[in-house]
Chain A
Amino acid sequence: DTEVTQTPKHLVMGMTNKKSLKCEQHMGHRAMYWYKQKAKKPPELMFVYSYEKLSINESVPSRFSPECPNSSLLNLHLHALQPEDSALYLCASSQDSRGNYGYTFGSGTRLTVV
């Protein structure tokens, strides 16, 4: 299995809702990442988990809360989002936190906040 699987593919949520994005990989990768991508822009790093511990938080607002329950799973909990948070959220994994052998990305969750 050489894939990163993200669910759901599309999500529409109100500003008072709580929702979660899920990401799963079974490649034995020990580093996992959340990226945010706005239209016509490159992906921007949000969080890095290395060996199930949060190692980087790129000053992301607290309404985004990551969680890594085990080495295969990565969640992103969403609460009280704003319309400007609408974007494509991409999950990625790599064999180690040094980026050796490259990154594998999921197909993303397209989030719309109304």
Chain B
Amino acid sequence: NAGVTQTPKFQVLKTGQSMTLQCAQDMNHEYMSWYRQDPGMGLRLIHYSVGAGITDQGEVPNGYNVSRSTTEDFPLRLLSAAPSQTSVYFCASSLSGGGTDTQYFGPGTRLTVL
């Protein structure tokens, strides 16, 4: 198993540009989520999904869109990037999303918005 994979590893955008951060898992996990990590802030939940076609907002959803058309993939879209979205983004997945499940994290995408 490759586990949780994220692409790209690094990305530089200009303000106002759009892009999609890709996340995929091959563990047949129902639950997937996106976090952003900022210096001195820990990780904060952006959006999560409990299965194909079902998504919900986390703590910091503004400026981000998600959809989940397959079990394997959970892309994160920035429609109009802003410098405040400069961050490291982590995708995570777990079997069912229950509190006792282990969440597996991807290696992250480092995004810079100029």
A binds B: no
User: A residues near B, CB below 8 A?
Assistant: none
